[in-house]
Amino acid sequence: ASKYRPFAPVRLSDRTWPDVVLTRPPQWCSVDLRDGNQALIEPMDLARKLRMFQALVKIGFKEIEIGFPSASQVEFDFVRKLIDEDLVPADVTIQVLTQAREPLIRRTFEALQGARRAIVHLYNATAPVMRKVVLGLDEDGIVELATSQARLFNELAARQPGTDWVFQYSPEMFSGTELAFSKRVVDAVTEVWQPTPGRKCIVNLPSTVEHSMPNIFADMVEWMHRHLARREAIVLSVHPHNDRGTGTAAGEFAVMAGADRLEGCLFGNGERTGNLDLVNVALNLYTQGVDPGLDFSDIDDIRRTVEWCNQLPVHPRHPYVGELVYTSFSGSHQDAIKKAFAARKDGEAWDMPYLPIDPKDLGRSYEAVIRVNSQSGKGGISYLLESEYDLELPRRLQIEFSQVVQAVMDASGKELSAQQLFELFEREYGVR
């Protein structure tokens, strides 16, 4: 049983709250090794790719997009390495991306020779600006492009019957495409693939660029969910980006609106402002009492691995993982946290002021929760002395000593550690 309370929807009016709350996790797919990788200043080499893959497996991802094998030799070699060295666990499915271009698709299937099971992900742009300016195709031309390449998938897969194939199609820039046209293209592709409930294909709806508010994106997903042909034979996936800073919300609303699966990256890496942050969504679920099925119990280890693989730092204020997110400097926050810790009984539901999640659940300690600088008060100072040095100050002494501490910090402008506070206390009063 979870120690977190399920989110209870509050109905203020028919329009302000959704009817649905998330009660189970979506199917997760990490695209760190593809979308995340293609956005890096220095794309991962084989060693970094392998380390990221192993970290994703350890977290519990069962579907992992491992690259774009027709894009570069490193990408191709990484797919081969995983297959040749039998590095993919039996319950994990690798996924690879290809553009809807014949030579690239042939090279992609070549990379996958001998795979036990693979998701092959086909995409082409569908939005008006891409049709007109980039591809120079009208609507019929786009449908022809998608369906002809989908047919090539059938043909190449039939030549490699030893692999359990799953096909995925993305109308790139779905968020900027007319809904009726998105449906037309997707229906045409699934007509070629003929999925069944026992043998589903994946339809992935990307907000390649986040064009709209998350509720609008979710409405578009819901429309597709209600109108797609062969819906019972489709895993409906979404792939939000974060251009408006609302990738997490877009993903959560999309699942409420009917999506079955979420694609994203750890800590929101990815093109421009990033992909949907998988950790954020998973831990949002966790703090609502829903087991996400992913293990973040040593989140700092995961952060260090991701920082090494991506060669990019995670921001100190990043939700759930940032260095400072379980830290309070302000006196009133410290006071409330101190009182709540003192009152908390084992087995009680988590209800801690200013701490939406128990840092221990992510392998973080309570030590960093309260830190003392010039914004802090006596509560924080006495908490640190008590928790780190077993030094319990009477209330009058707390007040007096906090003025000494305040004067030191006003002069220096710097934070004081528990040890520095203890030394100051010793100097000031000569004794313990």
Residues in contact with Zn ion by CB under 5 A are 35
Closest to ligand KIV by CB, 222 vs 243, is: 243
List C-alpha distances in Å: 301 to 61, 111, 385: 16, 32, 29
d(CA 425, CA 323): 28
Interface residues with ligand KIV (CB under 6 A) are 35, 97, 123, 170, 172, 204, 206, 208, 239, 241
**Nearest by Cα to 221 from 269, 249, 268, 256:** 256
CB of 31 to ligand KIV, least distance (A): 7
CB of 182 to ligand KIV, least distance (A): 12
d(CA 366, CA 377): 18
Give the one entry of ligand KIV, Zn ion, none that residue 170 binds, where binding means its C-beta sits below a cut-off of 5 to 8 angstroms depending on kind: ligand KIV
CB of 204 to ligand KIV, least distance (A): 6
Closest to Zn ion by CB, 35 vs 277, is: 35
Alpha-carbon dihedral of residues 372, 279, 127, 15, nearest 10 degrees? -80
Closest to ligand KIV by CB, 265 vs 369, is: 265
Residue spans of alpha helices (H) in 60-178: 73-84, 102-111, 128-129, 139-158
CB of 123 to ligand KIV, least distance (A): 4
Give the one entry of Zn ion, ligand KIV, none that residue 190 binds, where binding means its C-beta sits below a cut-off of 5 to 8 angstroms depending on kind: none
Give the one entry of ligand KIV, Zn ion, none that residue 210 binds, where binding means its C-beta sits below a cut-off of 5 to 8 angstroms depending on kind: none
Give the one entry of ligand KIV, Zn ion, none that residue 172 binds, where binding means its C-beta sits below a cut-off of 5 to 8 angstroms depending on kind: ligand KIV
Query: Exposure pattern of 311-320 as b/e (b: 16+ CB <10 Å)?
Result: ebebeeebbb
CB of 399 to ligand KIV, least distance (A): 57
Q: Are 27 and 63 in contact (CB under 8 A)?
A: yes
CB of 335 to ligand KIV, least distance (A): 46
Closest to ligand KIV by CB, 98 vs 402, is: 98
Give every CB contact of residue 340 below 8 A, 6+ residues apart in sequence: 351, 352, 353
Q: Are 234 and 200 in contact (CB under 8 A)?
A: yes
CB of 310 to Zn ion, least distance (A): 16
275 has binding-site annotation: yes
Closest to ligand KIV by CB, 225 vs 241, is: 241
Give the one entry of Zn ion, ligand KIV, none that residue 123 binds, where binding means its C-beta sits below a cut-off of 5 to 8 angstroms depending on kind: ligand KIV
Q: Are 237 and 231 in contact (CB under 8 A)?
A: no
Closest to Zn ion by CB, 272 vs 339, is: 272
Give the one entry of Zn ion, ligand KIV, none that residue 65 binds, where binding means its C-beta sits below a cut-off of 5 to 8 angstroms depending on kind: none
Closest to Zn ion by CB, 125 vs 421, is: 125
Q: Amino acid identity of 193?
A: W
Give the one entry of ligand KIV, Zn ion, none that residue 305 binds, where binding means its C-beta sits below a cut-off of 5 to 8 angstroms depending on kind: none
DSSP state letters, 34-67: IIIHHTSSS---HHHHHHHHHHHHHHT-SEEEEE
Chain position whose Cβ is nearest to Zn ion:
35
**Tokens 């497996």 label which residue?**
57
d(CA 305, CA 299): 10
Q: Are 180 and 144 in contact (CB under 8 A)?
A: no
241 has binding-site annotation: yes
Residue ranges for the binding site?
A: 35, 239, 241, 275
Residue ranges for the binding site for Mg(2+)?
A: 35, 239, 241, 275
